[in-house]
């Protein structure tokens, strides 16, 4: 178990230091901003939606290692997914970081599993879910500014 935790921590630190899909997405047709005042995390998510599919996704902003790593791994996970699949992953991820039992048709979380330890740190849950709330706003209410408070 300790090895697994070390590995998870390693992945979070790596994505926190060298986030993937970081920067502005020039041909985005959806965007939203998110703030987590509790920790000071700020993020802007850019999405290019084609039909029902998240064709491309990037983010920029500044935040703690957890929020940056979460956005980085989220953008990797969602590329090519449909909106419905993205929503399912969000719910599964939310259950994971809040320590709830996954529902019956929970999709595979893959690398997102590294955030399971967050459930032991309630104040960190908002850091981990900020990018997801912001993504959801971009998909459903384009141009919105969301806050975790």
Residues binding Zn ion (CB under 5 A)? 39, 41, 64, 67, 127
Q: Where are the alpha helices (DSSP H) in 53-121?
A: 65-78, 83-97
End-to-end Cα, the chain, rounded Å: 34
How many CB atoms within 10 Å of residue 136?
20
Q: Which is nearer to Zn ion, 40 or 102 (CB)?
A: 40
Q: Which is nearer to Zn ion, 67 or 86 (CB)?
A: 67
Rounded to whole angstroms, the Cα distance separating 97 from 114 reads 10
Provide the minimum distance between the beta carbon of 38 and Zn ion in the complex, in angstroms, as a whole number. Answer: 8
Q: E-strand spans in the chain?
A: 30-36, 41-50, 53-62, 145-147
Q: Which is nearer to Zn ion, 41 or 56 (CB)?
A: 41
Residue 22 bridge partners (DSSP): 59
Helix (H, G, I), strand (E, B) or coil at 146: strand
Provide the minimum distance between the beta carbon of 12 and Zn ion in the complex, in angstroms, as a whole number. Answer: 12
Q: Which is nearer to Zn ion, 23 or 121 (CB)?
A: 121
Provide the minimum distance between the beta carbon of 119 and Zn ion in the complex, in angstroms, as a whole number. Answer: 15
Provide the minimum distance between the beta carbon of 122 and Zn ion in the complex, in angstroms, as a whole number. Answer: 13
Rounded to whole angstroms, the Cα distance separating 75 from 19 reads 10
């Amino acid at each position: 178990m300790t090895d697994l935790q070390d590995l998870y921590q390693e992945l979070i630190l790596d994505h926190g230091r060298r986030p993937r899909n970081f920067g502005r997405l020039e041909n985005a047709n959806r965007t939203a901003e998110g703030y987590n005042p509790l920790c000071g995390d700020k993020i802007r998510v850019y999405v290019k939606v084609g039909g029902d599919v998240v064709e491309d996704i990037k983010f920029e902003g500044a935040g703690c290692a957890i929020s940056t790593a979460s956005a980085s791994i989220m953008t990797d996970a969602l590329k090519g997914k449909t909106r419905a699949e993205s929503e399912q992953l969000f719910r599964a991820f939310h259950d994971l970081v809040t320590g709830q039992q996954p529902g019956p048709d929970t999709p595979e979380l893959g690398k997102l599993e590294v955030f399971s330890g967050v459930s032991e740190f309630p104040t960190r849950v908002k850091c981990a879910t900020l990018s997801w709330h912001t993504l959801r706003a971009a998909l459903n209410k384009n141009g919105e500014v969301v806050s975790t408070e």
